[in-house]
Chains A and B, each alone.
Chain A
Amino acid sequence: MALSKRIIKETERLIADPVPGIQAVPHEDNLRYFDVKIDGPAGCPFEGGKFSLELFLPDEYPMSPPKVRFLTKIYHPNIDKLGRICLDILKDKWSPALQIRTVLLSIQALLSAPNPDDPLATDVAKHYKEDERDAQRVSKEWTEKYAK
């Protein structure tokens, strides 16, 4: 089937031509399951952190989006305690033309551009809205604490 071929192809390309600051390695026993590491982008409270995520490609992929979750605790208005991510392309804005690579890039971009208006972790979002600097401080602390 062409679509599982696609997974193989994507994986090959991710390994052959990795995105700077992003690392995605499939499990040996399940090629649909990836261990992902994303470097916190420069110029944001998450800089210097190395965040672990898990990524799973459902059967319908690429017709439905991959499931992605942070394993590292992170203080971010769009990421909740369980690591779930609020990102449109992972939900209704998914398009089969997107790939693992683009998804992870989007997540990386999300780190540097939190969007408290569309929150998932409401308390964090509130914090960010009321006192962004203090919130960023917490984020930085968490990064130091959990993502090193």
Chain B
Amino acid sequence: MDFLDDTTRVDEDLEESYNDLENGFFAAPPAHSTPASETLFLPEESDDEPLEIEKPQPNPIKRSSPSPEAARPTKRRRTDGTSPKAVKLSDGEPSNNSQDYFYIGDFLIDDAYSLVSGTNAIRVGEQVSLTRNIQGVDPMRVKSVPGKESKGGGKQTTLTGFISQPAKPSAKASAKVDHIVRFTSLNGSHLGRLPVSMAEPVSVLMDGLARFSGTIVEAPQRVRTGDSILLSIKAYLSSAAFAKPDITVVDDHNQIFNEGSETATEKNLRERRSSILRLFELVGLKARVEASKLEVDQPKDKKDQPPKSKKPPKKEIIGEGEDAEEVEVEDDDEEVLQDADLEMIYKKAQKHDKDMREMEPAESFVLTLRPYQKQALNWMKSMEEGIEDSRRAMSMHPLWQEFAFPFEPSESGVIDLCADERLFYFNPYSGELSLEFPRSKTQARGGILADGWYLISLRIFTTDLLAANQGSVGLGKTIQIASLIHSVKNDVESRATSVEVKPRMRQLAIDRAFKATTTSRSRSTTCRTTLVIAPTSLLSQWESELQRSSKQGTLNVTVWHGANRGGLEVDTDAIDVLITSYGVLVSEHARHGRINSTYRSPLFTTSWFRVVIDEAHYTKSRISKTAKAVYALKASRRWALTGTPIVNRLEDLQSLLHFLDYKPWSGYPFFRSTALPFLARDPKAIEIVQVILESILLRREKSMKDKDGNPIVTLPPKTVTVENLEFSPLERQIYDQIYHNAKSTFKTMDARGTVGKNWSSIFALLMRLRRAVLHPSLVVSKNDEGNADRSGEVDVDDLISRYMSGGNNEASNEAGPTFAQLNIAALQENNEQECPICLEPMDPPVLAPKCMHSTCKDCMVDHLHQCIEKGEDGNCPICRTGPLLEHELIEVLKTRRRTRGSVVSDSSPEPEERKPTSNEVIDVDASTDEEPMEIDDAIREPSVEVTYRRNNFQSSTKLDALMRDLRRLRNEDPNIRAVVFSQFTGFLDLIEVALDRDKFPWVRLDGSMSQKQRTKALKLFSTKSDKPRIFIISLRAGGVGLNLTSANHVFMMDCWWNAATEQQAIDRIHRLGQERDVFVKHFIVARTVERRVLAIQARKTAMVSSALGKSDASTSEGIKNLRIMFGDDEDD
């Protein structure tokens, strides 16, 4: 805490502060007694000047002269005081100013020290007032009172003589000077100072918040400078303190502040808050009532609870049992308790979730809701209508505490409080004070629907990461919103019955729009339309889901999208749901906001009945155009749907709150005041975030249980396996080469300490390594790292090109006719031939083009590698015909074709299409058409379709493993549906080729595809057919909204930095609607960077977030992660 730091610093450098101060004093003009005048002083170096005396005037004095020490004022200018730095220096007398002061208690200061000396210089029982230097104003700008100056002067001079040096103009010095508080006698003589530990809170409070008067309780009769004085201080809060702090000032121009930097206002608020807390602690003021955290959960399940009547509560909260323990929380214990019940709050919320009332959707909604969806509907409804709920209106705002003003013991005529106990309220989180009862009110009518919210995001900050696989996607947010749309309609609508709604044109052209129906009334007043904003890719899904869920003709859904969308005039009585994209929203907003344009976009002139933003994390950056456009929407009910309310920083959430207009957190500065301690892992702040979230967020996870203990959703089991693969020797060589280059680069940087500056290049190195794991060709083009010494090292490029040597050496295809024909004929037979090398059936067979000898592909390739290793040309292992190159081999691809009536268990994927055109496929089939069938001709085996192709596609370990699995699956189930994820589109390209070669029909989805193409691909994939289909998806493009439940096999070709992303991808398949068991397979190559990525995943820290984040802590974390990556210990 800053507070403490300052204190300590002041303590250490007490002398310097003396110095500053005294300099100031001596600089004061000797006699200057005009009250309330602006005075300007120049420091003089005269050191015989006696002690400066504070003037004892009851009247306020304006002090606003510029400081001679220019550095000071700018540093810590306060904005909460009245603008021209007016401070009342009133002492014990009541002010004639309009400000009122409320006595809140007294406290003792036992180590104030005197700055005067002499017998009876300080008399016990003397009334003193506390004064301080005005912020940013030089300390000596006080008037000296003639005649008092000589008091204690001699002593002072000596002191000054020792330490009077030019004041240090440093920020440090200015910070120190800030908090000096002196006490003066009623006649204005300066007697001494408060100890530094007290000075800060008191001085902050004196800036317009409070006033203090004191009594000397004990002092030595003969006092000397520096003697301890015991003071009794009475504290009065000024009425100004109860005004709402000016926290929204910067909100409008918040773009000028960097995200992450604390604004001046914010800092000010923080100091104010801690000072008030300290004051309450000093005077022993305790909260009478603290609002229960549980209150916040109330909206969800309030129907189940007995009404809690809470007049401005005089007593502890009467509520459920859980509340009781939180009531009498004292400030001191606060932290512990709240820390401890963090988890409890969470559990409570979920427990209530189970008991939440269900609600039947309106009749026009035709789908059947699951119980948890009905609960959600009920919750959403109550969230929308919650503001009318009287109970909530009467309950105290969750973050406020109630205090009572104590009665002032002596009637010194300060403030006579009415005889009744007067209450006031304090928000210990924000530092706000109020005389008004702070009602718990949710301005937000709406909330966040976070199905499967990934806890991981939040927990990142608490270093206590939960396993990421909690989350889930696809619990039917769309459907839930649809049910809400049906069930809660605008009142306007209720008079116009739904029957009357006729289907309209999808697209409303502008001319049509100016029909009589479009009155200005309907535009300015709330219409009944729900506006849905979704990513472009999900527009059609929204439309179809909404249609699917409603009775014919009950819901008029309009999609407003595309360049030729035309003008939209909302005929508010006609459209129930208007769906548009973020893109449209942003461009409309830009047009709408253009200064010299008269265009007013209907999106922003209409007051929508309800606005729903899907994938709301699109708006996470509050300064993005999208976010601003979303904020500009007018709506009475707002919903944000997202799987990740917090993507990677807390500000993400703030943006949602802003959209939801959830005060006070919707304001950025205020939000930051809670976010800051949150980043510092302050449990209180975490709690606040939890409270906020729980009050407006409905979270559903697959794993959650209903009240009977059953999972809210039952999904078929999911089996995840990780297969460890071994590189082929050549791949290993390539990989190791790249790895060692990268490692030495990193080591060099690490040694020089320049890692932090080279994130991007290290990242590039890592990406390169990860590509190399997938397929060597993925790194071939990017060999751009300059590594100086490669003496004696094998050239990577050479290796790779050797690996890839797909050059077009024309194979002279003069096959030895007789043997070749025989051999081919043999291949044609159904029974499998034995490989002469492994003595197993050949799988798959390859032919040497010159001699037509055949072996297994693997055996042949092994042999050829062996030859190369020996420095020879490759040759046929059987007849030594050479040279034989790997890519010349002809692969024999057998696919079984179903013949009439034969057994079908493994039927062919598709009739052969032959492409003898390219080099790829050589059709030798024709040469041997007659089948040399053997004895049992009777049994009609399924005939075999044989295709030959060049072995000029270089596969890789991972690709082979994938294809092997897919082939196996195809044998088991001819119309297998599988999804293959990779984050590298280059690898997707290779997978395509491999799939083609093995005759798997595939579809693909990646970021480069248009909306139309995506829809088409999705449709194709989900269409039932008896062919296998493989969906290859870029991990990043496929993370959102897709529904791939028609597949039940998932292959993860590479691992992402954080497990949550992978999990999300898998949940595309393992989600509602999945009826089969799901099998997930991760391919990992042993002894590569992938193992280490997994290790990082296991450390539960997303490297990306720390690598891209700016904070120091995360940077060092990132470096640690990198050290894992490039560490020496092999982990397997």
Enumerate B772-800 residues with CB–CB distance to A below 8 Å. none
B838 interface residue per 8 A CB criterion: yes
Query: Is there a chain A Cβ closer than 8 Å to B495's Cβ?
Result: no
Q: In the complex, what's the smallest C-beta–C-beta distance from B378 to chain A, in angstroms?
A: 61
Q: CB-nearest residue of chain A relative to B838?
A: A2
Quick check: is A27 within 8 A (CB to CB) of the other chain?
A: no
Name the distance in Å between A39's Cβ and chain B's nearest Cβ: 26
| Chain A positions 1-33 with a Cβ under 8 Å from a chain B Cβ | 2-3, 5-6, 9-10
Does A63 belong to the interface (CB within 8 Å)? Answer: yes
Judge whether B840 and A2 touch: CB under 8 Å: yes
Task: For B863, give its contact among A10, A92, A93, A95 (CB under 8 Å).
Answer: A95
> Is A96 in contact with B877, judged by CB distance below 8 angstroms?
yes
User: Of all chain A residues, which has the CB nearest B867?
Assistant: A95
Query: In whole angstroms, what is the CA distance A79 to B69 when docked?
Result: 104
> Which residues does chain A contribute within 8 Å of B858, judged by CB atoms?
2
Complex contacts, B862 vs chain A, CB 8 Å: 63, 96
- Which residue of the partner chain, among B836, B866, B872, contacts A64 with CB atoms under 8 Å? B866
Establish whether residues A10 and B877, one from each chain, have CB atoms under 8 Å apart when the complex forms: no
Q: Are B838 and A92 in contact (CB under 8 A)?
A: no
B840 contacts which chain A residues (CB < 8 A)?
A: 2, 5-6
Residue of A nearest to B870 (CB): A92
Q: Give 1 or 0 for each of B832-859: 1 = CB within 8 Å of chain A CB.
A: 0000111110000000000000011011
- Which among A9, A64, A92, A93 is the interface contact of B839 at CB below 8 angstroms? A9
Q: Is the CB of A97 within 8 A of B836?
A: yes
Residue in A closest to B843 when the chains form the complex, CB atoms: A2
Tell me the nearest residue of chain A to B869, going by C-beta.
Answer: A63
Check: B914 CB closer than 8 A to any chain A CB: no
Contact residues in A for B878 (Cβ distance below 8 Å)? 95, 97
CB distance from B542 to the nearest CB of A (A): 53
| Interface status of B515 (Cβ within 8 A of chain A) | no
Whether B880 is near chain A, meaning CB under 8 Å from some CB there, is yes
In the complex, the chain A residue whose C-beta lies closest to that of B856 is A2
Q: Once bound together, how far apart are the Cα atoms of A92 and B872, in whole Å?
A: 10
Also in contact, A10 and B839, with CB within 8 A (given A95-B878, A95-B880): yes
- The digit string for B250-276, where 1 denotes a CB below 8 A from any CB of A, is 000000000000000000000000000
A95 vs B851: C-alpha distance in the bound complex, in angstroms? Answer: 15
CB within 8 Å of B: which A70-98 residues: 92-93, 95-97
Q: Is A40 an interface residue (CB 8 A)?
A: no
Residue of B nearest to A98 (CB): B877
In this complex, the member of A2, A5, A96 whose beta carbon has the largest number of chain B beta carbons within 10 angstroms is: A96
Contact: A6 with B870, CB < 8 Å? no
CB contacts (< 8 Å) of A92 on chain B: these are: 870, 872
- Measured CB to CB, the closest approach of chain A to B858, in angstroms, equals 8
Tell me, rounded to whole Å, the shortest Cβ–Cβ distance linking A132 to chain B.
Answer: 31
Tell me which residues across on chain A come within 8 A of B859, comparing CB atoms: 2, 96
Q: Tell me, in angstroms, the Cα distance from A8 to B877 when the chains sit together.
A: 21
Q: Please name the residue on chain B nearest to A92 by beta carbon.
A: B870
A62 interfacial contact with B, CB 8 Å: yes
- Cα separation A96 to B855 with both chains bound (whole Å): 10
Complex: A62 Cα to B839 Cα, angstroms: 11
Please, how many angstroms separate the alpha-carbon atoms of A96 and B962 in the complex?
28
Q: Evaluate contact between A62 and B837: CB separation under 8 angstroms.
A: yes
Q: Which residue of A lies closest to B871 (CB)?
A: A92
In whole angstroms, what is the CA distance A113 to B114 when docked? 121
**Which residues of chain B are near A95, meaning CB under 8 Å?**
863, 877-878, 880
Who on chain A is nearest to B836 by CB? A97
What CA separation (Å) do A39 and B837 show in the bound complex?
A: 27
User: For residue B837, which residue of chain A has the nearest CB?
Assistant: A96
Residue from the list A64, A93, A97 in contact with B837, Cβ < 8 A: A97
Which residues on A sit within 8 Å (CB–CB) of B856?
Answer: 2
User: In the complex, what residues of B have CB within 8 A of residue A63's CB?
Assistant: 862-863, 866
How far, in whole Å, are A64 and B859 apart by their CA atoms in the complex?
13
Determine if B870 and A3 form an interchain contact, defined as CB atoms under 8 angstroms apart: no
Q: Most A CB atoms within 10 A — which of B838, B840, B855, B862?
A: B838
Give the nearest-CB partner of B863 in chain A.
Answer: A96
How far, in Å, is A90 (CB) from chain B's closest CB? 14
Give chain B nearest CB distance to A106 CB in angstroms: 14
Cα of A93 to Cα of B880 in the assembled complex, Å: 9
- Asked if residues B839 and A97 are in contact (CB atoms below 8 Å), the reply is no
Closest chain B residue to A8, Cβ basis: B839
B870 to chain A, nearest CB (A): 7
Give Cα A97 to B867, complex, Å.
13
Q: Could you mark each residue 876-890 of chain B with 1 if its beta carbon is under 8 Å from any beta carbon of chain A, else 0?
A: 011010000000000
Q: Considering the chains assembled together, what is the distance between the CA atoms of A67 and B866 in angstroms?
A: 17
What's the minimum C-beta distance from B129 to chain A, rounded to whole angstroms?
A: 93
Which positions 197-228 of chain B face chain A at CB distance < 8 Å? none
Give the docked Cα–Cα distance between A5 and B839 (Å).
8
A38 to B859, CA, bound (A): 30
Q: How far is the CA of A3 from the CA of B838 in the complex (A)?
A: 6
List B contacts of A97 (CB < 8 A): 836-837, 855, 877-878
Q: Which residue of A lies closest to B855 (CB)?
A: A97
In the complex, A63 Cα to B836 Cα: how many Å? 12
Known contacts being A63-B862, A96-B863, A97-B855, is A6 close to B838, with CB within 8 Å? yes
Distance in Å: Cβ of A36 to nearest Cβ of chain B: 20
Chain B contacts for A64, CB-based, 8 A: 866
Which of B837, B872, B880 has the most A CB atoms < 10 Å from its CB?
Answer: B837
Q: How far is the CA of A92 from the CA of B867 in the complex (A)?
A: 9
Chain A residue nearest in CB terms to B858: A2
Query: Given the complex of chains A and B, what is the CA–CA distance between A3 and B863 in angstroms?
Result: 12
Q: From residue A96, how far is it (CB to closest CB) to chain B in Å? A: 4
Scan residues 798-855 of chain B and give those whose CB is less than 8 A from a CB of chain A. 836-840, 855
Contacts of B872 in A (CB 8 A): 92
Contacts of A9 in B (CB 8 A): 839
- Bound-state CA distance A93–B859 (Å) is 17
Contact with A along B1076-1110 (1 / 0, CB 8 A): 00000000000000000000000000000000000
Q: How far is the CA of A83 from the CA of B866 in the complex (A)?
A: 27
List chain B residues, Cβ under 8 A from A6: 837-840
Please indicate the chain A residues that have their CB under 8 angstroms from the CB of B866 in the complex.
Answer: 63-64, 96
- Residues in chain A near residue B839, CB distance under 8 A: 5-6, 9-10
Q: How far is the CA of A125 from the CA of B862 in the complex (A)?
A: 37
In the complex, the chain B residue whose C-beta lies closest to that of A93 is B880
Give the nearest-CB partner of B880 in chain A: A95
Q: Which residues of A contact B863 (CB under 8 A)?
A: 63, 95-96
State the CA gap A92–B870 with chains docked (Å): 9
Kindly name the residue among A5, A10, A64, A95 whose own CB sees the greatest number of chain B CB atoms within 10 A: A95
CB distance from A17 to the nearest CB of B (A): 13
Query: Across the interface, do A5 and B877 meet the contact criterion of CB distance under 8 Å?
Result: no
In chain A, residues 118-138, which have Cβ atoms closer than 8 Å to a Cβ of chain B? Answer: none
**Most B C-beta atoms less than 10 A away, residue of A5, A10, A64, A97:** A97
Bound Cα distance from A64 to B877, whole angstroms = 12
Beta-carbon contact of A5 and B838 below 8 Å: yes
B250 CB to nearest A CB, Å: 70
Interchain CA distance A5-B841 in the complex, whole Å: 12
Could you say which of B838, B839, B859 has the most chain A C-beta atoms within 10 Å of its C-beta? Answer: B839
* Chain A positions within 8 Å of B877 at CB level: 95-97
- Give 29 CB contacts A-B under 8 Å: A2-B838, A2-B840, A2-B858, A2-B859, A3-B838, A5-B839, A5-B840, A6-B837, A6-B838, A6-B839, A9-B839, A10-B839, A62-B837, A62-B838, A63-B863, A63-B866, A64-B866, A92-B870, A92-B872, A95-B863, A95-B877, A95-B878, A96-B836, A96-B859, A96-B862, A96-B863, A97-B837, A97-B855, A97-B877
Q: Which residues of A contact B (CB under 8 A)?
A: 2-3, 5-6, 9-10, 62-64, 92-93, 95-97
Residues of B at under 8 Å CB distance from A?
Answer: 836-840, 855-856, 858-859, 862-863, 866, 870, 872, 877-878, 880
Q: Give me 18 other A-B pairs in contact (C-beta within 8 A), A2-B840, A6-B839, A96-B859 excluded.
A: A2-B859, A5-B839, A5-B840, A6-B838, A6-B840, A10-B839, A62-B837, A62-B838, A63-B863, A63-B866, A64-B866, A92-B872, A95-B863, A96-B837, A96-B863, A96-B866, A96-B877, A97-B877
7 A-B pairs with the lowest CB-CB distances in the bound complex, closest first:
A97-B877, A2-B838, A97-B836, A95-B877, A96-B837, A9-B839, A97-B878
